[in-house]
Amino acid sequence: MTEESEEFKPMTADDLVRAFPEIDPDDATELARRFDEADTTNEVDEALERVNKAIKGYGVEAVEIDEFVDRYYRHFGLLYVNRGDTTATTILYDTLAGEFLIGDWSGWLEAYEAERAAEIDDGDEAEEEPEEESVEEEEL
């Protein structure tokens, strides 16, 4: 998913504390800064590992998509902290958009698949040839 939505938005320290009441406010400030400044894949990976510890997750996992992202992420469209339930609020990293988000990974996947289906439908419509007008031949 490459566009921001109300459901999946970049986060602040306050957003982290609201979403994860168990997180220490100082950790939330540090994590929000890391999320904002993460420019390399190593920085993204380190930020996800830190938030995994801070919210007592079950590790960082990935969601594979059909689309090729890049040489590092390959076909992983999303990285997320596993919270034990596909609908649990967690930290997501959208590799296509290059953004950290708060949301659930199953919701992200549904939105991504809907977006892809709409793009495919739009592509099919563009490829369709226009109907030719029928012109009756005049008799001479």
Number of C-alpha atoms within 13 angstroms, CB side, residue 62?
13
Q: Which pLDDT score, from 0 to 100, does residue 125 have?
A: 58
Its sign, for the CA torsion 8, 4, 63, 122, is positive
How far apart (Å, rounded) are the C-alpha atoms in residues 38 and 62?
18
Give the residue among 19, 48, 53 at the shortest CA–CA distance from 34.
48
Token reading at 72: 């590092």
Give residue-wise pLDDT tens across range 66-82: 999 999 999 999 999 99
CA-based torsion, 110, 58, 48, 79: positive or negative: negative
Return the bridge partners of 79, or none: 62, 93
How do residues 79-97 score in pLDDT, each as one tens digit?
999 999 999 999 999 999 9
Q: Which two tokens stand for residue 81?
A: 């902290």
